[in-house]
Amino acid sequence: MDDCSRGNDITQQKKRKLFLFINSPFNKEKLKVQTRHWRLADADYLVDVNAPIDLRRVVFVGGVPRPIRAVELAHIMDRLCGSVACAGIDTDVEYKYTKGAGRVAFINYNSYMKAITQRYAQLSHGEIEKRVCLES
């Protein structure tokens, strides 16, 4: 992976996408594989460190596109429902890579209720448009 991060000739960067070319025992040509880097710091985001977090106002967000960071999820949900206290992206315990789900805590009850009564939200991230599930 060091070759990947250095921009070696075995990689190709296109529109902020990073590809690694690897050998395959089943194919004479090298396979082009997209790598998606995930910073551990991108898994959690506090909108305001002084905002109270009530665990009874947390919404599970299922089907989150894997490139979305917690800060982006917080801003999207704040725009759609209002008053977000914090957001987090669920990550694998062993590998620390995103699982494709997240959680959002709301400051007030009305924002929380708006989120769970909607049941679904449309998330946009670059080329990705995805309808995600909202559950309490």
Q: What whole-number distance in Å separates Cα of residue 32 and Cα of residue 55? A: 43
Backbone Cα Rg of the chain: 18
**Which of the two residues, 75 and 125, has the higher pLDDT score?**
75
Which residue, 4, 59, 64, is CA-closest to 35? Answer: 4
* 4 or 60, greater pLDDT: 60
CA distance 1 to 20: 9
pLDDT at 85: 97
Residue 83: is its pLDDT beyond 90?
Answer: yes
pLDDT for residue 15: 53
Instruction: Break the chain into its structural domains and give their ranges.
Output: 2-35, 40-135
Instruction: Write the pLDDT tens digit of every residue in 18-62.
Output: 888 888 888 888 888 888 778 999 999 999 899 889 999 999 999
Nearest to 86 by CA among 62, 112, 123, 67: 112
> Which CATH code fits 40-135?
3.30.70.330
Local structure of 3: helix, strand or coil: helix
